[in-house]
Amino acid sequence: MQLLNLFNANMRKEYIELKRYLPNTIAILLTFYIIFLGMFTGIQIIGDPSTQDANIQYVIVNYIFWYLMMIVVNDIGWQISNEASQGTLEQISMSPMGIWRILTARLISLTCIHFFIIVALLYLSMATTGQWLNIDVVTIIPILLLTLVSMFGVGFMIAGLTIILKQVQAFLQILQFILAALAFVPLSVAPFLAFFPIVKGVDLVRSVMIDGLTLAQIGANDFLILGFNAVFYFALGLGIFLYCERFARKKSLLSHY
């Protein structure tokens, strides 16, 4: 019951903030849509006409995943930094639920709320370009869930770093481009990236939405890699976060900005 209440509280918090600061929310969505329009225009102007449709489809999937990664991985760092500057980070640390449970609930809430925005962006992008992708929900959902778990792990790493350093805005801005590289790089170019967080999941979802890959056609090895990445990066991220939290408590960093 406590965990359910925690999830409901964070869900309400994220929804109220998006609604209360609606101009900022709209600005974020417009920014991502304008970036997509720039990519789409660039492909039309300088792209190879014979591969233009495939390139546009590729960009749609990648930029949608980039938005998702920005929300799940990058946004949690901004939130911790804001909590510290507002003086509420110490209050969160005194909760009997523990910071990591609160952050987990917040990450899930962020994902759930922005899922509707992502779907809207996806269909808006397809309508803009006239390229309609294969939305096989049965195949996409298990891939996406395992990929999200590894994203949460990376998000915990960023949160742990932010708890100690507080001012990480410059790093988070650089991280945007790193996440873009992970979303856009083809796995066929660098197969070893399959064991990096997120990359394998994006590659499989691309195959489903562009090439029509079905759940039955996905090999057991693919799901083993996804499962390994999910468990490994979530455990690693949570371990790093808990270590950073203990270090911050020991050095009394939670109460100072």
> Rounded to an integer, what is the distance from CA 84 to the centroid of its chain?
22
Question: What is the rounded distance in angstroms from the CA atom of residue 76 to the CA atom of residue 108?
Answer: 11
Give the CA distances from residue 158 to residues 9, 139, 168, in Å, rounded to whole numbers and listed in that order.
23, 30, 9
Q: Which residues in 148-222 belong to E strands, given as ranges? A: none
Q: What angle do CA 87, 92, 97 make, to 5 degrees?
A: 175
Instruction: Give tens-digit pLDDT for 11-52.
Output: 898 889 888 988 988 888 898 889 888 888 888 787 677 778
Q: What global pTM score does this model have? A: 0.90
The residue assigned the tokens 């945007």 is: 176
At 126, list the tokens: 């397809």
Q: Residue 228: its pLDDT value, please?
A: 96
**Beta carbons of 159 and 80 less than 8 angstroms apart:** yes
At 97, list the tokens: 């639920």
Which of the pair, 86 or 219, is modelled with greater confidence?
219
How large is the average pLDDT for residues 110-135? 90
Question: What is the rounded distance in angstroms from the CA atom of residue 244 to the CA atom of residue 71?
Answer: 22
Instruction: Give tens-digit pLDDT for 195-221.
Output: 998 899 999 999 999 999 999 999 899
| pLDDT of 256 higher than 70 | no
How large is the average pLDDT for residues 89-109? 84
How large is the average pLDDT for residues 60-89? 84
